[in-house]
Structure 1
Amino acid sequence: MIAKLLFIVTFIGAGFSLQLKQVVILSRHNIRTPLTTNLQLLTPKRWPKWNGETGFLTPKGRKLEQAMGRYFADWIIEEKLLLDKCSRNQVFVYSNTRERTIQTAKSFAEGAFGECAEVYYKNMTGMDPVFNPVIRNDSEEFREVVLSEMQAQLNNIDVKDALLRLNKIVDVKDSEYCKTEHVCDLSEVKNKIVFEVNKEPDVVGAIQLGNTLVDAFLMAYYDGMKEDDVAWGQIRTAQEWESFLKIVKAYHKIRFQTKLLDKDVASTLLKYLGDVFQNGSKKFYVLVGHDANILSLMSALNFKDYSLDGQFEKTPIGGKVVFEKWYEEENDRELLRVRYVYQSSKQIRDGVEASLQHPPLEALLQMEDCAVDENGYCPWNDFIRKFNIV
């Protein structure tokens, strides 16, 4: 709120006035259960019990998302983008087809607008093509360049220390994986890049196994499980979390943030958002997808590197990339501001519900070729031009 007040004072004092014209949010789903049922193969220890199917939104995730919806609705009404919480014809909430994204979108819409907003999602068993981060370019030249870029990324990462520590946490030497695969040290598992058209790019091996384990630990931490049930009590400090999250960040960077590949896997989302930004008739859009969508889109649009205070993740659970279109009357021009709105790792674990009185954290984001002024705004036309290039 302090930053917001300073912004208002700055522009009023300078004789300028800004009016919020449109908000487009790309959100990651909120807290979910782990994505794999094969975790037991990697350890002789007993995993904590989750109440919910694999990859489903948890009750706590639903509650946090409802609060985030209320926060955003209160904010856009305060900014006079909408007159009230029942502006049905000015709101569009769109989800991918996965349960965790649908329920996140429904929770957000319920918290924000009650029964005055419906969630749209396609009636299909597979991923919605708009959100599906798969390889689409089937040319051999593209394949060769991308494989080279992915391999270069893979060659430059060093997460061996973290993998060795994971060995001890899960006791992999006594696991079923060790007995059947005869690999009893995660750091010794070879990494192999998987490139197949119409499938997500992947890296199979040590880094993928490490990502799976750390993700399960992190979801347990977020969901508020007892400390002894989070990695069996063996990850307790922020520094320890940061060391293990290096595996997750490296895994996603290789898969979704190499040049050429990012634009390809994000191509359908880029096309959809480009149309919304240029022709969208609604004032408030919310798209709910996955970390892969955020990472590939931000890379494709050449976002500069950023950091999120108080967060272990680069794309936090429930976090939102918020594109804001503002109109500056004094100079008769449109401006863009982009923020990452999120909750800290501790706020999520503690179940802190966002509100105007206790707002979530935020980080100002910047893109190459869309220079921002001292208040974080770049020319709208410079931003739109990017969609005619990517």
Structure 2
Amino acid sequence: MITKLIFIVTFVGAGLGLQLKQVVLLSRHNIRTPLTTNLQLLTPKRWPKWNGDTGYLTPKGRILEQAMGRYFADWIIEEELLSDKCSRNQVFVFSNTRERTIQTAKSFAEGAFGDCAEVYYKNITEMDPVFNPVIRNDSEEFIKTVLSEMQAQLNKIDLKDALLRLNRIVDIKDSEYCKTENICDLSEVKNKIVFELNKEPDVAGALQLGNTLVDAFLMAYYDGMKEDEVAWGRIRTAEEWESLLKILKAYHKIRFQTKLLDKDLASTMLKYLGDVFQNGIKKFYVLVGHDANILSLMSSLNFKDYTLDGQFEKTPIGGKVVFEKWYDDVNGRDLLRVRYVYQSSTQIRDGVEASLLHPPLKALLQMEDCAVDENGYCPWNDFIRKFNINSLVNNSNSQTVGEGALF
């Protein structure tokens, strides 16, 4: 059941005499079905039934995203970035090619602008180059350095308690996987880095298996399944969730946030956004991709570590990194504010629709070399300088990005 709550919101920018000039959202897709069909091999228990193909946006995810679209449209109109919800020539919505991202983008656009905004995506089976977090640099020095850093991170993690908890939840000792592969204790499974040109980096073994299981539990929790259907009722407290989510966080950090590797994985996204921030003529851009896009981009731009209150994840389902360009009329300069706009784990599970009266949660984000003032704004030119430096690093490895997106 989708519920609506009421909350009063105020706007900071107007109170400081600032004018909102441009907004760029980098969004993760909303709630989806699990990404694998092999879950049954890892437990003798019966998994809950999902309505939808593997990795597809769920009906609840669609509703929540429509509401998020309405919230953002109301916000930018309140801030006078757009005059109304049919400013077609001032809006650009761009999605990766996966069903969950396309449907998330369409749901957001529908909620925000009705029929007055189209969603751009390539009609191809492979990932759009802008959103594809694959290894592009084939130099021996790069590969050697990155593999060393990934292994160093892998050596630091201690997930034994979380993996033992996962053993008990799924009863892996009685699973088909235990019988056929002789893997009956996830805490004893070795991890191995998988590193291949033009593919995503991966960590096969306990981290990958654990990520698959915990992700499925989390999606069931978000989608509002009954308590006894979410991990068969064996995750009851926030502390238990936090323990299991350490597996996801470690898996994603090693894959997407190792220095040098992060810039390579995000190189096409960096180039695309650099073009938007410096040459984009539209006022409102929405890019819908994946957690890998957000993680690698934030790491490559040296975002400081952050905490999202009320959330299990670092990159919540439906969450958005919001880049806001403001003009300071008093000092005659452009400023940047970056925030994570998201819903809490409980809000998502309860189906709370975001609105101006009950806005989503927000966390101020900060970057190294772009110092913020007491209100969370940093100089725009310092921000753009970071993109110019990154473009020099990645120019030789960048692929063609989405044509026509700026116009």
Structure 1 length normalisation: TM-score? 0.97
Name the structure 1 match of 2:285: 285
Q: Which amino acid aligns with 2:339?
A: R
Shift of 1:123: 1.0
Name the structure 1 match of 2:4: none
Shift of 1:236: 1.3
Q: Which amino acid aligns with 2:182?
A: H
Q: Which amino acid aligns with 2:274?
A: G
Contact 2:13/2:19 (CA < 8 Å) preserved in 1?
no
1:19-67 deviations in whole A, cap 9, x for unaligned? 0000000000000000000000000000000000000000000000000
Residues in 2 aligned to 1:236 and 1:322: alpha-carbon distance in whole angstroms: 32
**Structure 1 residues 3 and 116, CA, compared in 2 at 3 Å: closer, same or farther?**
closer
1:261-314 deviations in whole A, cap 9, x for unaligned? 000000000000000000001000000000000000000000000000000000
Name the structure 1 match of 2:338: 338
**CA RMSD across the alignment:** 0.9
Name the structure 2 match of 1:313: 313
Shift of 1:87: 0.2
The question of 1:88 aligning with 2:88 is answered yes
Shift of 1:6: 5.7
SS of aligned partner of 1:173: helix
1:64-95 deviations in whole A, cap 9, x for unaligned? 00000000000000000000000000000000
1:318-373 deviations in whole A, cap 9, x for unaligned? 00000000001111100000000000000000000000000000000000000000
Structure 1, gaps ≥5 residues long: 12-16
Residues in 2 aligned to 1:265 and 1:6: alpha-carbon distance in whole angstroms: 35
The question of 1:268 aligning with 2:277 is answered no
Structure 2 length normalisation: TM-score? 0.93
Name the structure 2 match of 1:324: 324
Name the structure 2 match of 1:158: 158
Residues in 2 aligned to 1:352 and 1:297: alpha-carbon distance in whole angstroms: 29
**Structure 1 residues 238 and 251, CA, compared in 2 at 3 Å: closer, same or farther?**
same
Residues in 1 aligned to 2:281 and 2:14: alpha-carbon distance in whole angstroms: 27
1:208-228 deviations in whole A, cap 9, x for unaligned? 100000000000000000000
Residues in 2 aligned to 1:159 and 1:201: alpha-carbon distance in whole angstroms: 20
Q: Which amino acid aligns with 1:104?
A: T
Name the structure 1 match of 2:22: 22
Name the structure 1 match of 2:231: 231
Name the structure 1 match of 2:398: none
Shift of 1:7: 5.7
Q: Which amino acid aligns with 2:366?
A: Q
SS of aligned partner of 1:316: coil
Contact 2:150/2:254 (CA < 8 Å) preserved in 1?
yes
Shift of 1:183: 1.3
Residues in 2 aligned to 1:158 and 1:263: alpha-carbon distance in whole angstroms: 26
Q: Which amino acid aligns with 1:178?
A: C
Residues in 2 aligned to 1:365 and 1:319: alpha-carbon distance in whole angstroms: 13
**Structure 1 residues 5 and 108, CA, compared in 2 at 3 Å: closer, same or farther?**
closer
SS of aligned partner of 1:387: helix
Shift of 1:388: 1.0
Percent of matched pairs sharing the same residue: 87
1:1-390 aligned within 5 A: 4-5=10-11, 8-9=14-15, 11=16, 17-390=17-390
Residues in 1 aligned to 2:282 and 2:388: alpha-carbon distance in whole angstroms: 22
Structure 2, gaps ≥5 residues long: 1-6, 391-407
Contact 1:163/1:210 (CA < 8 Å) preserved in 2?
yes
Q: Which runs of 4+ in 1 moved over 6 A?
A: none
Shift of 1:4: 3.9
